[in-house]
Chain A
Amino acid sequence: GAVVSQHPSWVICKSGTSVKIECRSLDFQATTMFWYRQFPKQSLMLMATSNEGSKATYEQGVEKDKFLINHASLTLSTLTVTSAHPEDSSFYICSGVAGGGEKLFFGSGTQLSVL
């Protein structure tokens, strides 16, 4: 299967700081990258959809100024959590899709803890 590399795996930060999460598709070109958030024992909730070279589309209720997404190339998408607060603590996962496919190839996830 296709490989999506996600870094960092976990991060602890102070309230008010910003955190950047990177996802790279290693052996395919991810025309679309989905960003999900998952709270303990809950399902994946789609936050936003990014397409290479265009602005991300955010789901209802997700603050686009707080969760900055950049998809500068077909192999790299980043999510920056700006001015993080404890309620932003969650498991963030990216997922790449190649050329109109439906199968999702997930990154390994980033556990964010905001103190």
Chain B
Amino acid sequence: QKEVEQNSGPLSVPEGAIASLNCTYSDRGSQSFFWYRQYSGKSPELIMFIYSNGDKEDGRFTAQLNKASQYVSLLIRDSQPSDSATYLCAVTDPRTGGFKTIFGAGTRLFVKA
């Protein structure tokens, strides 16, 4: 079982729709959770982080965390073509005291104009 699992996609949504990206992780001890956006040929950029169960909203982005289900999601409202990218889910590795981060393989999102 992979430590951080994501559907590779591609996930295709029309402009203006809500894009829902999902991620599961294997280690219950993980404490911190991140979503990074990576455009093709570029390095990742942090867009959201969440530490507690529930929802966290920042502009058009909402991160959701359910530690009991070991599940993290990212919602993108009013999706724009510029949101087309690969979204990486990342969790801190409790075996390293949270020092290291484990990345999922990413979900490719296409927003159609």
Contacts and interface: CB of A to CB of B under 8 A. Distances in A.
Q: Do A and B come from one complex?
A: yes
Given A43-B88, A43-B106, A44-B88, A106 B44 contact: yes
Interface residues of B, number: 22
Contacts of B43: 6, 93, 106-109
A104 B101 contact: yes
Interface string A73-95: 00000000000000000010100
Contacts of A27: none
Contacts, number: 47
Interface of B: 8, 32, 34, 36, 41-46, 49, 88, 90, 92, 98-101, 103-106
22 contacts: A32-B99, A34-B100, A34-B101, A42-B105, A43-B104, A44-B88, A44-B103, A46-B101, A91-B41, A93-B44, A102-B49, A102-B98, A103-B46, A104-B34, A104-B36, A104-B46, A104-B90, A105-B46, A106-B43, A106-B45, A108-B42, A109-B42
